[in-house]
C-alpha cells in the first residue's frame, strides 16, 4: 500500500511516498520545493497558490512513477489561515506569521479580555502571532476581507479544500489558534465574540485519521489521475512529528527541531493551571485524543537568517561549514536568549545578536564562527531550561530526550544538547513530520492498531543515533551563567 505525505515547512515543502512492507516503513522523497514568503509593500504573505501548484506536482510525480496512492495527507505550520468568500473563492493571500501587523495586538486583547481568562479557556501559550491576534489585527484595521468572508481555513485545511472542495478543520491545528476550547471540544464562542469574529466561519473539527474528502473530479481530469481519499492527519506539523517519536515508554520528552524548536511531552488531558500559565506552556491537540504539553523555542531560524545575511553580503556558507567553524570558535563566550523578541522577525540577525550581547554586558561575537557558536550554545542551554520546566509542569522526570526533525542533521547541536541536559539524546527520525503524517494515514486504514504500534514500527524502521552527555562540569557552569545573562531563574 502506497500513500503520500505532504509536509510543508516554513522554508520548504516535501512529498514523501510511503510504503509498508513486512511491518517496516519505507519512505521515498519524490518532490521537494522551496516555500518562499512574498513581501508586497509592508506586508509579508505566503504564496499559497504556488504551494497548491506544488501539491499537484507531487501527484503528477507519483503518477509518473506508476503509483496510485491509496490516500494522502497534508501537514504544515500552524496559526496562519485563509479566508473564503461567499462564492467559495479565496480572499487574498494569507498573511505570514512573521508579518508586523499583529504588533501590540496581543497586549491589547490581554488587557481587554484578561490573560488568565484566555488561558483558562484555551490552554494555549501567548505568542504575538497566534491566530486570535491576527484576526484581531485585521478587525482593528477594518480589513475589507472580513466583510466579504464566509469561512476560515488554516493552511492545510485550505489546501485540502482546493483539492476536494470540502471544508473541514482538524484538531491539532484548530487548538493552536487560541480560539478553541479543549474542555468543551469546540470553537470558543466567547473569545470569537470578544474579537468581533463570526462563529459561522468555523465548522466541524476532525480528529487525526478522519477522511476529509476525495480529490475532486476537476483535479482528476486536469492531472489524469484517479480518485484519492484525503485524510486529515495531525495537520500541525509538530503534531505529526510527535506522532513519529520512536518512544517505547509512555512518558517521554521530545524536541521537534527545525526552523522552530518545540519541546514538551504528551499528556492525556490538557494541563491548564497557574504554572503552565506562568511559564507560558501550550496544550495542543494530538493524535489519539492526546495533548502536546510544550513550549515554542525560536530554533534554527536565527541561524538561517544570519546565513541569509552573509549571503547578501557575498559570502555563502553551507550549514555544515557553519557548524565546522562554530566548533573551532572559543567556547562559552557569549549567549542570547533565543526567545527574545529581537529575534522574531526577519532581518540582520548578527547585528541583533551583538545588540543583545551589548545590552547584557557580554563580549560581542564578530566572526561567523563566533556568531554561529553563540546561537548553537544558546539553543542547547535553552533546551535544558525548557526541559526542566517541562518536568516541573508535567510532574514527570525524563531519562533522556527524543530529538526529531531536520535540525538533528546538525550533529553538533545534538551533542551539545546532550551535554547541556546531562542526559542521553536519541536523535531520529529527521523527516518526523512526514513519517507521522504517513503513520496516521496507516492508522486510519487499519494497518496500525494504535499510535503505540505505529511508534514501535517507526523505531524498528528508522535509525536512531544516541548522543551521550559529556563535559558535564563545563556545561553545568555555563548553564548557571546563561540563566543569569538571559534572566531565566527558578521554577
- What confidence tens digit (pLDDT) does each residue in 382-396 have? 999 999 999 999 999
The CATH architecture annotation of domain 2-235 reads: 2-Layer Sandwich (3.30)
432, 404 contact by CB (below 8 A): yes
What positions carry a catalytic annotation? 237
- Cell numbers 486529515: residue: 232
> Could you tell me the three cell numbers for 318?
553551507
pTM of the model: 0.96
Q: Check if 2-235 and 237-428+464-491 are the same fold.
A: yes
DSSP class of residue 219 equals: H
**Helix or strand (DSSP H, E) at 13:** strand 12-21
Rounded to whole angstroms, the Cα distance separating 176 from 157 reads 14
Domain ranges of the chain: 2-235, 237-428+464-491
pLDDT in tens, 250-275: 999 999 999 999 999 999 999 999 99
For residue 144, give every residue at least 6 positions away whose Cβ sits within 8 Å of its Cβ, in sequence order, or none: none
pLDDT in tens, 425-460: 999 999 999 999 999 999 999 999 999 999 999 999
pLDDT in tens, 300-318: 999 999 999 999 999 999 9
Nearest to 213 by CA among 174, 167, 156, 155: 167
> Could you tell me the three cell numbers for 88?
467559495
Superfamily (CATH) of domain 237-428+464-491: ATPase, nucleotide binding domain (3.30.420.40)
DSSP class of residue 108 equals: H
- Cell numbers 510525480: residue: 61
pLDDT for position 491: 56
Amino acid at each position: 500500500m502506497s500513500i503520500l505525505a505532504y509536509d510543508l515547512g516554513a522554508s520548504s515543502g516535501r512529498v514523501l511516498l510511503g510504503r509498508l512492507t513486512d511491518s517496516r516503513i519505507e519512505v521515498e522523497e519524490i518532490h521537494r520545493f522551496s516555500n518562499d514568503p512574498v513581501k508586497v509593500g509592508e506586508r509579508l504573505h505566503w504564496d499559497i497558490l504556488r504551494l497548491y501548484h506544488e501539491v499537484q506536482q507531487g501527484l503528477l510525480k507519483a503518477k509518473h512513477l506508476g503509483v496510485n496512492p491509496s490516500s494522502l495527507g497534508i501537514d504544515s505550520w500552524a496559526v496562519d489561515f485563509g479566508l473564503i468568500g461567499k462564492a467559495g473563492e479565496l480572499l487574498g493571500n494569507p498573511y505570514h506569521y512573521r508579518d508586523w501587523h499583529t504588533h501590540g495586538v496581543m497586549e491589547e486583547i490581554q488587557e481587554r479580555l484578561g490573560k488568565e481568562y484566555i488561558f483558562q479557556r484555551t490552554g494555549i501559550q501567548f505568542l504575538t502571532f497566534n491566530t486570535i491576534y491576527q484576526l484581531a489585527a485585521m478587525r482593528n484595521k477594518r480589513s475589507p476581507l472580513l466583510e466579504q468572508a464566509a469561512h476560515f481555513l488554516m493552511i492545510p485545511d485550505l489546501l485540502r479544500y482546493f483539492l476536494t472542495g470540502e471544508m473541514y478543520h482538524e484538531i491539532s491545528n484548530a487548538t493552536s489558534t487560541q480560539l478553541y476550547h479543549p474542555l468543551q471540544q469546540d470553537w470558543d464562542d466567547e473569545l470569537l465574540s470578544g474579537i468581533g469574529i463570526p462563529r459561522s466561519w468555523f465548522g466541524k473539527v476532525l480528529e487525526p485519521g478522519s477522511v476529509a474528502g476525495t480529490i475532486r473530479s476537476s483535479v482528476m481530469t486536469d492531472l489524469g489521475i484517479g480518485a484519492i481519499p484525503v485524510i486529515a492527519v495531525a495537520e500541525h506539523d509538530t503534531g505529526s512529528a510527535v506522532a513519529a517519536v520512536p518512544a517505547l515508554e509512555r512518558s517521554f520528552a521530545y524536541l521537534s527541531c527545525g526552523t522552530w524548536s518545540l519541546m514538551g511531552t504528551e499528556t492525556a488531558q490538557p494541563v491548564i493551571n497557574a504554572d503552565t500559565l506562568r511559564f507560558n506552556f501550550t496544550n495542543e491537540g494530538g493524535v489519539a485524543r492526546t495533548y502536546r504539553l510544550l513550549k515554542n523555542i525560536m530554533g534554527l531560524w536565527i541561524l538561517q537568517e544570519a546565513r541569509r545575511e552573509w549571503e547578501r553580503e557575498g559570502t555563502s556558507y553551507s550549514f555544515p561549514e557553519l557548524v565546522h567553524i562554530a566548533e573551532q570558535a572559543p567556547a562559552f563566550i557569549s549567549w542570547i536568549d533565543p526567545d527574545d523578541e529581537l529575534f522574531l522577525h526577519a532581518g540582520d540577525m548578527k547585528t541583533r545578536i551583538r545588540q543583545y550581547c551589548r545590552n547584557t554586558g557580554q563580549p560581542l561575537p564578530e566572526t561567523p564562527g563566533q556568531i554561529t557558536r553563540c546561537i548553537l550554545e544558546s539553543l542547547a542551554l535553552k533546551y535544558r531550561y525548557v526541559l526542566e520546566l517541562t518536568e516541573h509542569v508535567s510532574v514527570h522526570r525524563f531519562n533522556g530526550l527524543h530529538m526529531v526533525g531536520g535540525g538533528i542533521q546538525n550533529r553538533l547541536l545534538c551533542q551539545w544538547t546532550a551535554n547541556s541536559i546531562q542526559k542521553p539524546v536519541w536523535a531520529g527520525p529527521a523527516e518526523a513530520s512526514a513519517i507521522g503524517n504517513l503513520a496516521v494515514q496507516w492508522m486510519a486504514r487499519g494497518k496500525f492498531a494504535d499510535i503505540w504500534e505505529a511508534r514501535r514500527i517507526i523505531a524498528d524502521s528508522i535509525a536512531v543515533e544516541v548522543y551521550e552527555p559529556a563535559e558535564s562540569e563545563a556545561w553545568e557552569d555555563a548553564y548557571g551563567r546563561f540563566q543569569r545573562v538571559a534572566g531565566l531563574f527558578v521554577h
